[in-house]
Structure 1
Amino acid sequence: MLSFKKIFFFFLLLLIPAMDLFAQQQPANTAAADTTTHRRKAPKFDLPHQLRFGVDVSRPIQNLVYDNRRSYEFQADYYIGNEVYAAVEGGWGSAKVPYDDLNYTSTNSFFRVGVDKCMLQRLTGKDWDMAFIGARYGVAFIQRSDATYTTEDPMWGMTSGSVPGKSLMAHWMEITGGVRVELLQHWFLGWNIRGKFLLNQGALKELPPAYIAGYGKGDKNTIFDFNFYVSYAIRWKKKPKA
């Protein structure tokens, strides 16, 4: 059962950036400076290993809303120490351009790799709640079908033809941030916001996919995206040093 404390903490995380900005705007005084000078160091905890797996539950909902695209996304991260997590994400999807004068489909799989850095101080050795910033490198492998088209010219009339299918690759960089809250033991709820920047725009210039799973619209060089994850964490104790 979800506790009030967990729910309160989840919404409190949304206010932290605003609270931090407000604090930076306040004039510093001697007492504050003295407190900063003698501030205690963050406590260190003997933490276990943690490997966390998640699924983006917002994608199936979007699949119902948009009838011209499908997308499924998963993620995993591993705690490597110093509040840093190594992250791997992947999935697959499809899209179609279903117009009368232009028709083609595409499918793709993708993966992203990167790191997340938790920006909150850990309260106890069992505290795995986090608000973080991170970076990703993403790659998508795309198969585009034959494209059929029809054009109309006042002099030549109706002209129909096709463009052969093609294998494409897209790769991009991401800046991301988000929240993970352990609402139940080992079970997390959280989200990511992402800014994505395509690195090979020229490769997708001709008949770009309507949608690239893992990235977004194929004709956009910059994308802003959102994920909502349900995750489960596996933890195990470290082996004692000999």
Structure 2
Amino acid sequence: MIRTFLYTISVSLALLSAFSLQAQVKPASPAGDTIRLTKPAQDSTLRRQATPPRKQDSIAARKQARPTPPVTRLPDSVYYVPGGLRVGVDISRFALLYFQPYRTDVTFQADARINKKLYGAIEMGYNRTSHSDTSYTYKGNGMYATIGVDYDFLKKRDKDEKNMVFAGIRYGFARNSYEVPNYRIISDYWGSDITGSYPKTSMTAHWIELCMGIRVEALKNFFLGWGIREKIMLSSSADDAFPPIVIPGFGSGNKRSQFDMTYTVSYYFPLYKLKVSESREPRKKKD
């Protein structure tokens, strides 16, 4: 009987172990069921790459990818222009004898090319003034000089062209001496008759000139030119009570500014050549 009891317990334990193992195993899906697969999430980066680019973006990308062409600097253009000394006389001074017969003026002008557009200019002259009437007698003479620069505004078609359209500035200096050998003052009201003289006096003057004009080659190396000037007095040592009638190179002795015109005939001496170097604009190479 004890043996039968032990045998029963052993069978019961074996059955319990079998059920326990069966409960731990996951039951397999039936053969007829459809297996549902979950679609793996795609990377957002891959999705953006797969999206076709827009037209504007592709153009910008090509521009960025295209290499920038190098800028090539062209060599400077070097050539030579004629340089020399132009010497002339102002013939308008002789015309003054018709309007002011008491004065005689002689004026020489010269200019020399410094570079492509700039010219150095100088002028020298002489004045003699002689006047006599029933009231007084006046004598005066002196010399003057001006020095300055002219800038040529003319765009030349030929590098050998020497015509000019210019504007410039000058500094002028004059030294003059004058006297009144005798004068006579008659007053009918007072019934007086006064005579006398004013001794010889020397004076100096300084002024500036603003000028503009043209010079044209009428014949080979022969030039005609005219110009206008505004002269502004800087200082004068003349006595205000008795100024000179004429300041050489300036004009009236009792004015602080003077307008003047000139007309010159000159000859050009080709003495040298000037080297001109002009830089060219950089340009990009074509693809």
- TM-score by length of structure 1 reads 0.75
Counterpart in the other structure of 2:10: none
Shift of 1:155: 4.7
Instruction: Kindly report which structure 2 residues correspond to 1:73-88, keeping only aligned pairs within 5 A, or say none.
Output: 73-88=107-122
Shift of 1:229: 0.4
CA distance in 1: counterparts of 2:144 and 2:159, whole angstroms: 35
CA distance in 1: counterparts of 2:274 and 2:106, whole angstroms: 36
2:256 paired residue among 203, 214, 221? 221
SS at match of 2:247: coil
Q: Report whether the alignment pairs 1:157 with 2:192.
A: yes
Deviations 1:68-127 (A, max 9, x none): 111111100010003110001011011134242232111111111000001112221211
1:169 paired residue among 183, 204, 222? 204
- The structure-2 alpha-carbon separation of the partners of 1:199 and 1:178, relative to structure 1 and needing over 3 Å to count, comes to same
Amino acid at match of 1:159: I
Instruction: Kindly report which structure 2 residues correspond to 1:32-181, keeping only aligned pairs within 5 A, or say none.
Output: 45-153=79-187, 154-155=189-190, 157-181=192-216
1:232 paired residue among 249, 257, 267? 267
Deviations 1:7-64 (A, max 9, x none): xxxxxxxxxxxxxxxxxxxxxxxxxxxxxxxxxxxx8641132110011112122224
- The structure-2 alpha-carbon separation of the partners of 1:44 and 1:65, relative to structure 1 and needing over 3 Å to count, comes to farther
Amino acid at match of 2:235: N
- TM-score by length of structure 2 reads 0.64
C-alpha RMSD of matched pairs (Å):
2.1
In the alignment, structure 1 segments of 5+ residues that lack a partner are 1-42
SS at match of 2:80: coil
Contact 2:173 2:207 in 1 (8 A): yes
Contact 1:204 1:219 in 2 (8 A): no
Shift of 1:205: 1.9
Contact 2:203 2:236 in 1 (8 A): no
Counterpart in the other structure of 1:192: 227
SS at match of 2:210: strand
**Higher-Rg member (1/2):** 2
CA distance in 1: counterparts of 2:274 and 2:99, whole angstroms: 48
- The structure-2 alpha-carbon separation of the partners of 1:204 and 1:117, relative to structure 1 and needing over 3 Å to count, comes to farther
CA distance in 2: counterparts of 1:193 and 1:118, whole angstroms: 15
SS at match of 1:165: strand
- The structure-2 alpha-carbon separation of the partners of 1:137 and 1:164, relative to structure 1 and needing over 3 Å to count, comes to same
In the alignment, structure 2 segments of 5+ residues that lack a partner are 1-76, 276-287
SS at match of 1:203: coil
201-210 vs 141-150, which deviates more? 201-210
CA distance in 1: counterparts of 2:274 and 2:159, whole angstroms: 17
- Number of residue pairs aligned between Structure 1 and Structure 2: 198
